[in-house]
Amino acid sequence: MSTPKAIVTGSGIAGIAAAIRLAIQGYSVTVYEKNSYPGGKISLVEKDGYRFDSGPSLFTEPWLIEELFWLADEPMESYFSYEPVPNSCRYFFTNGKIVDAWTDREKLLQEFEQQLGEPREVLSSYLEKAGKIYENIGEVFFDRPMYRSAWLNKKILKAVASFRPGLVYYTLNEFNEQQLTTGEAIQIFNRYATYNGSSPYSAPAMLSMISAIELDTGVFYPAGGMISIANALYELAVKKGVRFEFNRNVSRIIHTGSQTKGVVLDGKNIFSDIVVSDADVYFTYRDLLDRKREAAALTRKEPGSSAVIFYWGIKKEFPQLQLHNVLFSAEYKAEFNHIFTLKKTYKDPTVYINITSKMEEGHAPPGKENWFVMINVPAIGTSAEWEKEIPYIRQQVLKKLRGMLKEDVEPLIETEQVSHPGILERDTNSFRGAIYGMSSNTRRGAFRRHPNSVSGLPGVYFCGGTVHPGGGIPLCLKSAEIVGTLVKKRTADH
């Protein structure tokens, strides 16, 4: 019997993880990547002695990576290491309050009570509820394909029994206002909607489970920065026999309607038994499958937020900042109204700052820091339009930092690089620059991401942040796991 062949289009984290799983299942796997490097949104910016992770900066659920090494029977420590970060984030408020979100439960309760006046019993109750939502519903939902028979088992029935209508009918903000007492605590837990590009004033209360993932299971730092995740998985894939071809742009998936034949690359047919698309689902339908109707339907769904990112080399150390920092807007609801309703950048944006030089030498020259500075913006516009708006956004961010850090940061910037939605769309094939694909700003939005396979496309599979179960490194890894499960089922059925 000949070895079955699989082609993966795109080498984002999900694409690499899917390739590893298929290679372990006995497939001969080739990954075609349009860029010159693996990792997708996880890449590296190096400039003037500073290095920055260009994309995701928060690392949670490391056991999802450990599982891949275990399945491959390879020692993870030879490729990759990480350490826990006790403070998941430092939050700054316009009223001058500062609070650390410790991953140690007792320290967290004490911090919120002392710094914010949030009663410990109130916060403890909230976290217990969020944890139960994740345990009973989130884990089951995130780990399973979106087809009917996969949901007919005891775990699913238990999840359905534990489901409460309020988790869908209330928004995350409404839920948080019911459960918490201080405005600052509500704002902190509202922020978790942004983890999948949504608004807490529209997204369902079910997203409260995200806080449990971060605060209960922990936040971690990968040695070498986030790029080390992509590098480790790439090396593992190569070790398992996966072949990568970079600067190769697949132009079409060959599909007859009843059978997958392979892909078209540089005008030539490359045959395979299955094809896994790690590309944005919109571009997969529009370009690779030539299904304009399905692509058009995706454009009618609200995209999640995008981002403007400044990579700043700062010629000074700021001891008041941590690895992860958030400087909140004074009017959080107005900020999300601008992003999702008015489709404009807000004048007083919430600013996120990630500084990996706090954790590791070599990411900035001695006595200096590498700042990854990000604000959420709408997923709209062309590169030319964003280039015109960047100077205004830059000044608003600097104004925010000057007011909250009590120091003018602009003279301290000795190197700079900028990213915006147009660049994100160009470099990562993210439709409109949306970081997480479609938003969850409806009652059913979180449940209505594109599935990882479609009945009318046998042999074609979808993984990555724009399909089920969602965006972010953990969910992308889960999407790869789901694809592996579906392919295994296909093999058994044939």
pLDDT of residue 160: 46
pLDDT of residue 156: 47
Nearest to 401 by CA among 353, 445, 449: 353
The full set of domains in the chain, from first to last, is 104-217 (1.10.405)
Find the angle CA(353)-CA(359)-CA(365) to the nearest 5 degrees.
85
77: buried, middle or exposed (CB in 10 Å: 19+, 13-18, 0-12)? exposed
DSSP 81: -
Name the phi and psi angles at 207, rounded to 5: -70, -5
**What is the number of alpha carbons within 13 Å of residue 80 lying toward its C-beta?**
26
Tokens of 420: 């915006």
d(CA 312, CA 324): 15
Name the phi and psi angles at 117, rounded to 5: 80, 20
Name the phi and psi angles at 81, rounded to 5: -145, 160
pLDDT of residue 446: 63
d(CA 39, CA 169): 37
d(CA 479, CA 140): 13
pLDDT of residue 445: 64
Nearest to 222 by CA among 408, 330, 64: 64
pLDDT of residue 161: 47
Residue numbers in the chain where pLDDT is lower than 70: 1, 138-140, 143-144, 146-168, 444-447, 494
pLDDT of residue 60: 95
User: Is the preceding peptide bond at 469 cis, omega within 30 degrees of 0?
Assistant: yes
Segment 186-220, tens digit of pLDDT: 999 999 999 989 999 999 988 888 998 899 899 99
d(CA 45, CA 346): 27
Nearest to 102 by CA among 88, 83, 121, 118: 88
Query: Can you give the length of the chain in residues?
Result: 494
